[in-house]
Amino acid sequence: MLRKKLVTAQKRGETRALCLGLGMVTCSMMMYFFIGITIVPFYTKSVWTTETVCKVLKANIKDKVLCPNSEGSEDEDIFPYPCLQVWVNLTASGQEVMLYHTEDTLERNPKCSYVPGKLENSKDVKARIETIASNFKKYQTFPCYYDPGGTQTNVILSRLYPPKGLLFAFLWPTLTFTGGCLIIVLVKISQYVSVLSAWQ
C-alpha cells in the first residue's frame, strides 16, 4: 500500500515538473516571437552601424518649436520646446553633418538634435536642453555612429538597439528555454530509470 502511494506521488511530481518545463519552453518561445516583431526590425532597419569619432563644431539653441509628427495626433501630445542643433565634423569623411540623439530623434523632428519627452514643467525641459548643450561644448570629441552606405548623411550619438542590447534581450528567453528543456530531459531520464528498475 505504501509502495503504491509513493509511486503515485512520484508520478504527480513528474507530471508537475514536466508541465513546468513545457511552460518554460512555451514562455520562451513567446518571448522570442515578441522580440522578433518589436526589437529586431528596429535593429535591422538602422543604417547607422559604424562607429567613428565626432568633433563638435557648434551647438546652438534656437527658438521653441512644436512637437513634430503631429499629423493624426491629438492636440494634447503637441508641446513646444527649445530646438537644440548640434553640428559636428565627421572624422571618417571630414564632412560637417548634423548630430541626432538616436534614430527615433530624426524621425520625430529632423530639425532638432534632441527631442525631449513630454514633461509638465517646461522649465525642466529648458534646463535639460541647456545642460546637454553645455556638455557638448565642454566635451568636444566623442564617439558617434554614421551610415557607411551613405544613404544618411547625418550621424547619431547612440543607437536605440546596439548589438549588446540585442544579445541581452535574447539572453533571458534563451535561459528560460534551456532551463525548460533541462527539466523535461531530467523528468524523462527519471521515468526511464523508474521503468528500468521496475522491469528488473
State whether the Cα torsion 36-40-42-44 is positive or negative.
negative
CB proximity list for 53: less than 8 A, separation 6 or greater: 91, 141, 142, 143, 144
pLDDT at res. 155: 92
Contact predicate 46/103, CB 8 Å: yes
pLDDT over 60 at 141, yes or no: yes
Contact predicate 46/163, CB 8 Å: no
CB atoms within 10 A of CB 35: 16
Range in 110-124, 132-146, 166-180 with the lowest mean pLDDT: 110-124
pLDDT digits (tens, 9 = 90+) for 174-198: 999 999 999 999 888 887 887 777 6
Winning range, highest mean pLDDT, from 31-35, 65-69, 88-92: 31-35
Candidates 168, 183, 64, 171; CA nearest to 125 is: 64
pLDDT over 90 at 100, yes or no: yes
pLDDT at res. 163: 82
Report d(CA 172, CA 169) in Å as an integer.
Answer: 7
- What does residue 171 show for φ and ψ, rounded to 5 degrees? -65, -50
pLDDT at res. 75: 44
What's the pTM?
Answer: 0.70
pLDDT digits (tens, 9 = 90+) for 19-60: 888 999 999 999 999 998 988 888 888 888 888 899 999 888
- Residue whose cell numbers read 553633418: 97
pLDDT at res. 3: 52
pLDDT at res. 69: 45
Where does 53-162 have alpha helices with state H?
103-108, 122-138
